[in-house]
Homo-oligomer: A and B are copies of this chain.
Amino acid sequence: MNIGIIGLGLIGGSIGKAITGLNKHTVYGDDLDNNVVLKAQLVNAIDYKLTENDYQKLDMLIIGTYPRAFGSIVDKIAPKLLDGTIILDIAGIKRSIVADMEKAKKAYPKLNFIATHPMAGKEFSGIEHSSVNLFNNASMLMINVHCDMDTLTTAKDLFEAVGFTKIVLTTPDEHDKIIAFTSQLAHIISSSYIKSEQAILHDGFSAGSFRDLTRVAKLNPTMWTELFMDNSDNLLNELNSLISNLNKYKTALENKDEDTLFALLEEGNEKKIYIEAKTRSWKRS
Give the interface of A toward B (CB within 8 A): 119-122, 138-139, 141, 166, 168, 170, 175, 177-183, 185-210, 212-222, 224-225, 228-229, 232, 235-236, 238-243, 245-250, 253-254, 256, 258, 261-262, 264-269, 271-276, 278-279, 282-283
Contact = CB atoms under 8 A, between A and B. Distances in A.
B221 A265 contact: yes
B249 A175 contact: no
Question: Top 3 closest A-B pairs, CB basis?
Answer: A191-B268, A186-B209, A181-B198
B241 A200 contact: no
Nearest to A247: B243
Tallying the copies of this chain within the complex gives: 2
Contacts of A212: 186, 212-213, 215-216
A196 B217 contact: no
Contacts of A188: 246, 249
A236 B265 contact: no
B228 A139 contact: no
A205 B262 contact: no
Contact of A177 (B185, B198, B206, B276): B198
A213 B211 CA distance: 10
A236 B255 CA distance: 11
A209 B180 CA distance: 12
Contact of A209 (B216, B232, B236, B275): B216
6 contacts: A178-B201, A182-B210, A189-B193, A191-B265, A192-B245, A218-B276
A208 B211 CA distance: 12
B224 A199 contact: no
A232 B141 CA distance: 42
A46 to B, nearest CB: 25
A121 B208 CA distance: 8
Contacts of A218: 269, 272-273, 276
Contact of A168 (B166, B205, B254, B283): B205
Contacts of A225: 258, 261-262, 265
Contacts of A279: 202-203
A262 B185 CA distance: 15
Contacts of A254: 232, 236
Contacts of A204: 119, 139, 141, 166, 168
Contact of A182 (B175, B202, B266): B202
Contacts of A120: 207-208
Contacts of A122: 208
A265 B228 CA distance: 11
Nearest to A202: B182
